[in-house]
């Protein structure tokens, strides 16, 4: 949504020490320090890398092959109690997403709940007001951002999805990676 966000994402993408390329539906495991092992399944042909940014956390950067959608997930262990409820996650998402409200077309934050057999969470979607009236979105900019938290095992998966089309198949796939593409196993 903001240029600095894209630049931060790009920096992590370039600096990532573990680049991987998913040719078919790709499943791999990320070992979260002080947390669980997370099995992640991505759609076919989604490039991805995992970086220790910061060093005690792991950040997954992934995108479809045409870069229509960019997904970043930072795994944070044990920030919620074991008996956390959806309301606990919602409260933190509201705080974390508040900075998007002023620069958005929506001018308000509306939470969307997420739940699957692997966990639960919520997110909010915003449209960048500075890009909304453009006929063509400039390269390396995204009109929409979805930002939220999904609890999987003992880990909070703090995620951001950047896209120019919230109805695209790639956008739906990115949200599905968050809600159904991650499972935790204890170390």
CA 140, CA 137: separation in Å to the nearest integer? Answer: 9
Domains identified in the chain and CATH numbers? 3-185 (3.40.1000.10)
User: Which two structure tokens, joined as six digits, stand for 24?
Assistant: 């078919």
Ordered per-residue pLDDT tens for the chain, 187 residues: 443 343 334 333 333 333 333 345 689 999 999 889 999 999 999 989 998 766 678 999 999 999 999 999 999 998 999 899 999 999 999 999 999 999 999 999 999 999 999 999 999 999 999 999 999 999 889 999 999 999 999 999 999 999 999 999 999 999 999 999 999 997 6
CA 21, CA 13: separation in Å to the nearest integer? Answer: 13
CA 159, CA 129: separation in Å to the nearest integer? Answer: 21
């Amino acid at each position: 949504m903001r240029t600095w966000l894209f630049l931060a994402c790009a920096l992590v993408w370039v600096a990532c020490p573990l680049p991987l390329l998913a040719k078919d539906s790709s499943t791999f495991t990320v070992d979260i320090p002080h947390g669980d092992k997370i099995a992640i399944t991505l759609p076919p042909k989604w490039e991805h890398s995992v970086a220790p940014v910061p060093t005690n956390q792991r950040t997954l950067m992934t995108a479809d092959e045409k870069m229509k959608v960019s997904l970043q997930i930072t795994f944070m262990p044990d920030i919620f109690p074991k008996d956390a409820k959806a309301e606990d996650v919602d409260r933190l998402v509201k705080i974390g997403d508040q900075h998007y409200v002023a620069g958005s077309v929506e001018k308000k934050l509306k939470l969307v709940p997420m739940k699957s057999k692997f966990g639960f969470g919520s997110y909010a979607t915003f449209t960048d007001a500075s890009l909304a009236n453009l006929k063509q979105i400039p390269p390396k900019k995204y009109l929409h951002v979805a930002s939220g938290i999904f609890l999987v095992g003992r880990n909070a998966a703090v995620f951001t999805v950047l896209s120019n089309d919230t109805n695209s198949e790639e956008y739906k796939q990115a949200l599905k990676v968050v809600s159904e593409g991650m499972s935790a196993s204890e170390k």
